[in-house]
Chains A and B, each alone.
Chain A
C-alpha cells in the first residue's frame, strides 16, 4: 500500500511554487504527465487580491507603490487607537484578527522570507472555502513549523485562508504563549474544538505526533512518530471534511536536539528540555534558529465525506486512514528531502 501512495508524488512538480523563485529544484519539473485530480479551478488566474484593505505593516514590503507613508502613519495610529479603546472583534475562540494581521504575521514574515526562505507546493490542494483538516509532521524542538505553516497558508493561498491550529494543553497553560496562541486563532487539541471549527467551515491544522514529534532527537529527523490515537481522523470523518496531508522539510534542522535533560524537564513540568549545539552553550544566542531551507508541500486531499459520520465509530477504518495519511506524509518527506539537496541551500 505504501508504494501505491507514491504515485501522486511526481505531481508535486506540476504546480510551480507560487510567487517564489524555483531556482534549485529543476529535475522534478521534467515529469509532465502529473494527473491533477483536483480540477485546476480558477485559482491560478485569480489575482492575489486581499479581502482586507491593504494594511500598513502587512503590505509594507510587498506593495510599496500603494499607500504613501502618511497613509501608513494614519493606519498605525488607528491601530493603536483600536487597541487602546478595545475597538476590535474576537471570535468565540478568542481569535483576534486585527492583532494577527497587524502584529503577529508581519513579525513572522522576515523569518519566513529571508531566514528560512520557505517554498510552498500544492497550495491548490487547499480548498478556497469550507472546512478541511491539514495534517502535518511536527519537528524542530520549538514548534516553529506551526507558525510558518499558518503564514504560508495565509500568504500563498489565493483565498488567504487562516489556518486554525490545534495545540497541546501545555501551550495554553503558559503565560503569554497561551494568550498569543488564542489571539492568533489557535485552540486546544480536543475533538470538541476541532469539530466546532470544521463545522463552521474553518481550515484546521493539526500535528498528530505532538511532543513526540517536536521533541525527538536530531538523529530521528524526518522519521514520523506515532500518530496519536487517530482522533484527527475521526474528527474529519464526523464533519465530512477532506484531510490534506502536509509535509514540512527544514524545521528539523532549526534547533537540532542532541541531548535531552529529562529529569530536569520533569521537575519543571515540561515534556523535554533540549540541548542543541548552541543551547545552552551560547546562552540567549542559542535561541536563534539555524537558517535551514524549508519546503512545505500540501498533498492531495483525502475525502472523508463519502464514508458517512458513522464511519468514525469503526476503529479499523480510522486506523487504516490514519496509516494512509502517515505514509503519504512520510513518502512526500523523502521526495522533498531529495529535492532540497543540502540543508542550508
Chain B
C-alpha cells in the first residue's frame, strides 16, 4: 500500500530535495511535506513541485504537531550532516544529527498514524581499519568502532532507531546504509575530494572505494519510501575502484602525503576552506571500505543501474580533467613512433 502523507527531513540538501520532488510527482501520494532548517535554493524550490515546505529544525517540538495534524504515515529521515563545516562546527553538527534524530523519533513515537520510517544511514558505521574484512555484510559489526565525527553520529543514530523500533513494532523500519555518493550534481565528500586539481593521498596506502550514483541513490530512497522493505540494507554500486586509480581516471594529479603529515594537512585544508575532511574521512583514505550488496539485490530487489566505475565515469564526464587522457594517448603514440622507428604506428590495447 503506497503512503498517503510523507514527511521528508533535510529537503534543502540535494538528495532530500530530489526525493521530495520525485514523491511529489507521484499521484498516488496525497501530500509531501518537506522539512529543513534552511530554505531550499530557488531551483530546488521549483523542482519540489507540490511539496509543502516547512522551515523548522527537527529539534523543534513543533515537529510532533506537524506529524499529527497532517496525519503523516511515512517519515523519511535524511537530515544527517556529514561534515562539521556546513553545520557550523562539530558540536552543533552532533547536536543536529544525534539530538535531532532523538527528537524526531520522540515525535514519531507519539504519532499514531505513522506506519513507516525510512532512515538514511551510512556504511561509515562499519568503520575503516586494517583489520576489516574485504566486504561487510549487514550482520557484521565494525572491527574498529568509529570514535568521532559523522561515523560515530551514525552509529548512535542507528542505536536510537533500533530503540524506536522496539517501542513501536507496528511501524515498519528500513535503514539504508549508503556508500559514498558520486555524480554530476551531488555535493559529497568524494565529489569535493576528486574536484581538487592536486589530490592528496596517504603514502603507501591505496584504499578500495565503492561508490553509488546519485540517481541510483534516489531510486533506492524512493523504493524504500513507497514499498515495504523492512530491515537494514547496504546500498552501493557493484565493484570497486582503487583511490589512486580513481584519481587517474578523473584526470587529477595524486600527491602522496606521509602518514605523520596527513593530520596537519587536513587541518590546513580545513582552515583555508579548500576542503573539509574530518579525521575519520582521512582514515577512510587509508583503507577504504567495501560492502556486500547482495541483500540489496536479492531482498530489497534493486540492482544499481551503474556500477562504481560507471558512476565515477559519469562524475568525470561532468568535470574538466587537469590531465586529459587523450593527451596521454597522443604522447604514447608519439613516443611509440619514435622508439620503434615508425615500425609500430598505433598503440596496443589490452
Q: Residues on A close to B: CB < 8 A?
A: 53, 70-71, 73-75, 77-78, 80-88, 90-94, 96, 98, 169, 172-176, 178-179, 182-183, 187-188, 190, 192-193, 196
Binding site secondary structure of chain A: helix
CB distance from B336 to the nearest CB of A (A): 5
Distance of A86 Cα from B328 Cα, bound (Å): 12
Cβ–Cβ < 8 Å partners of B175 in chain A: none
Interface centre among B239, B247, B259 (most CB of A within 10 A): B239
Instruction: Select one of A88, A169, A192 contacting B130, CB under 8 A.
Output: A169
10 further interface pairs, Cβ-Cβ under 8 Å (given A82-B350, A86-B244): A71-B348, A77-B335, A83-B248, A86-B248, A91-B239, A94-B208, A175-B202, A187-B134, A188-B133, A196-B135
Cβ–Cβ < 8 Å partners of A192 in chain B: 133-135, 137, 140
Output the nearest chain A residue to B239 by Cβ-Cβ distance: A92
B166 interface residue, CB < 8 Å from A?
A: no
When the two chains form their complex, are residues B347 and A92 in contact, meaning their CB atoms are under 8 A apart?
no
When the two chains form their complex, are residues B206 and A92 in contact, meaning their CB atoms are under 8 A apart?
no
CB distance from B319 to the nearest CB of A (A): 14
CB distance from B252 to the nearest CB of A (A): 10
Cβ–Cβ < 8 Å partners of A187 in chain B: 134
Q: A74-B344, A90-B241, A182-B208 are in contact. Are A188 and B131 (CB under 8 A)?
A: yes
Cβ–Cβ < 8 Å partners of B203 in chain A: 175
When the two chains form their complex, are residues B340 and A74 in contact, meaning their CB atoms are under 8 A apart?
yes
When the two chains form their complex, are residues B240 and A90 in contact, meaning their CB atoms are under 8 A apart?
yes
Identify 17 residue pairs between A and B in the complex whose beta-carbon atoms are under 8 Å apart, listed by A's number: A53-B350, A71-B344, A74-B340, A77-B336, A77-B347, A78-B350, A85-B248, A86-B241, A86-B248, A87-B325, A90-B240, A174-B204, A175-B205, A176-B204, A179-B206, A192-B135, A196-B135
Distance of A188 Cα from B290 Cα, bound (Å): 14
Cβ–Cβ < 8 Å partners of A74 in chain B: 336, 340, 344, 347-348
Cβ–Cβ < 8 Å partners of A188 in chain B: 130-134
Residues of B301-350 whose CB lies within 8 A of A: 323, 325, 328-329, 332, 335-336, 339-340, 343-344, 347-350
Interface centre among B244, B290, B332 (most CB of A within 10 A): B332
When the two chains form their complex, are residues A193 and B133 in contact, meaning their CB atoms are under 8 A apart?
yes
Instruction: Select one of A71, A85, A92, A169 contacting B208, CB under 8 A.
Output: A92
B184 interface residue, CB < 8 Å from A?
A: no
Cβ–Cβ < 8 Å partners of B133 in chain A: 188, 190, 192-193
Cβ–Cβ < 8 Å partners of B241 in chain A: 86, 90
Output the nearest chain A residue to B248 by Cβ-Cβ distance: A86
When the two chains form their complex, are residues A92 and B130 in contact, meaning their CB atoms are under 8 A apart?
no
B242 interface residue, CB < 8 Å from A?
A: yes
When the two chains form their complex, are residues B328 and A84 in contact, meaning their CB atoms are under 8 A apart?
yes
One digit per residue, 1 when the CB lies within 8 angstroms of any chain A CB and 0 when it does not, for chain B 109-134 equals 00000000000000000000011111
Q: A92-B135, A175-B205 are in contact. Are A70 and B344 (CB under 8 A)?
A: yes
Interface centre among A86, A91, A96, A193 (most CB of B within 10 A): A86
Residues of B197-237 whose CB lies within 8 A of A: 202-206, 208
Instruction: Select one of A78, A88, A96, A182 contacting B347, CB under 8 A.
Output: A78
Cβ–Cβ < 8 Å partners of B205 in chain A: 175, 178-179
B249 interface residue, CB < 8 Å from A?
A: yes
B245 interface residue, CB < 8 Å from A?
A: yes
Cβ–Cβ < 8 Å partners of B239 in chain A: 91-92
When the two chains form their complex, are residues A86 and B208 in contact, meaning their CB atoms are under 8 A apart?
no
CB distance from A280 to the nearest CB of B (A): 23
Cβ–Cβ < 8 Å partners of B206 in chain A: 94, 179, 182-183
CB distance from A279 to the nearest CB of B (A): 23
Output the nearest chain B residue to A71 by Cβ-Cβ distance: B344
Instruction: Select one of A75, A169, A176 contacting B131, CB under 8 A.
Output: A169
CB distance from A268 to the nearest CB of B (A): 15
CB distance from A24 to the nearest CB of B (A): 41
Instruction: Select one of B246, B259, B339, B348 contacting A86, CB under 8 A.
Output: B246
Output the nearest chain B residue to A75 by Cβ-Cβ distance: B348
When the two chains form their complex, are residues B208 and A73 in contact, meaning their CB atoms are under 8 A apart?
no
Cβ–Cβ < 8 Å partners of A75 in chain B: 348
Distance of A178 Cα from B203 Cα, bound (Å): 12
CB distance from A114 to the nearest CB of B (A): 29
When the two chains form their complex, are residues B343 and A81 in contact, meaning their CB atoms are under 8 A apart?
no
Cβ–Cβ < 8 Å partners of A178 in chain B: 130, 204-205
Distance of A140 Cα from B244 Cα, bound (Å): 32
Cβ–Cβ < 8 Å partners of A96 in chain B: 242
Instruction: Select one of B204, B247, B290, B323 contacting A92, CB under 8 A.
Output: B290
Q: A85-B249, A88-B245, A169-B131 are in contact. Are A179 and B340 (CB under 8 A)?
A: no
Distance of A92 Cα from B290 Cα, bound (Å): 7
Distance of A244 Cα from B249 Cα, bound (Å): 40
Distance of A49 Cα from B349 Cα, bound (Å): 20
Distance of A182 Cα from B286 Cα, bound (Å): 13
Cβ–Cβ < 8 Å partners of A53 in chain B: 350
One digit per residue, 1 when the CB lies within 8 angstroms of any chain A CB and 0 when it does not, for chain B 96-119 equals 000000000000000000000000
Cβ–Cβ < 8 Å partners of A86 in chain B: 241, 244-249
When the two chains form their complex, are residues B240 and A81 in contact, meaning their CB atoms are under 8 A apart?
no
CB distance from A228 to the nearest CB of B (A): 16
When the two chains form their complex, are residues B329 and A81 in contact, meaning their CB atoms are under 8 A apart?
yes
Cβ–Cβ < 8 Å partners of A91 in chain B: 239-240
